Amino acid sequence: MPWNLNSGSPIFVQIIEHLQIDIVSGKYKPGDKLPSVRDLAGEAGVNPNTMQKALSDLESTGLVHSERTSGRFITEDDNMIKNLRKSLVDVQIEKFFKSMEKLGFTGEEILELVKEYSQK
């Protein structure tokens, strides 16, 4: 099933975000081999060149590395993955708070709503 990509931002950026989430959520564990570019492109429903660009960007950050004839692998650096996870959480929380503030809620009200919601 193709990934849920939209026209809101460049496709390769959305691919990067999707793969980052797959990594921090544990779908791909430290040291795991990633599927081939063609397989990932087919899964995502994108051109292999677009997938290659996204993977190259992930390599430049160190989250993914290539082994010449063996393919691409997830970093084994647990701290890098933990830091990425924290960074992704920060982005989501900021988006959530901004959306709630647009609805007229104060920070205190938002926290109270989150507390109530978490107790359901």
Q: Which domain holds residue 40?
A: 11-76
Rounded average pLDDT per 10-residue block, the chain, 120 residues: 79 94 96 96 94 97 93 96 96 95 96 93
**Are 18 and 65 part of one and the same domain?**
yes
Does residue 4 form part of some domain? no
Q: What is the pLDDT of residue 101?
A: 96
Question: What per-residue confidence (pLDDT) applies to 109?
Answer: 96
- Asked, for residue 6, whether it belongs to a domain, the answer is no
**Which CATH number does the domain housing residue 53 bear?**
1.10.10.10
Say whether both 72 and 92 belong to one domain.
no
Q: Are residues 64 and 85 in the same domain?
A: no
2 found inside a domain? no
Q: Nearest 5°: CA angle at 54, between 20 and 40?
A: 80
Q: What is the pTM of this model?
A: 0.84
Q: Residue 1: its pLDDT value, please?
A: 52
Decide: helix, strand or coil at residue 93: helix
Q: Looking at the structure, tell me whether residues 38 and 50 fall in a common domain.
A: yes
Q: Which residues touch 48 (CB under 8 Å, ≥6 apart)? A: 37, 38, 41
Closest CA to 15 of 46, 61, 60: 46
- Indicate whether 35 and 51 sit together in one domain: yes
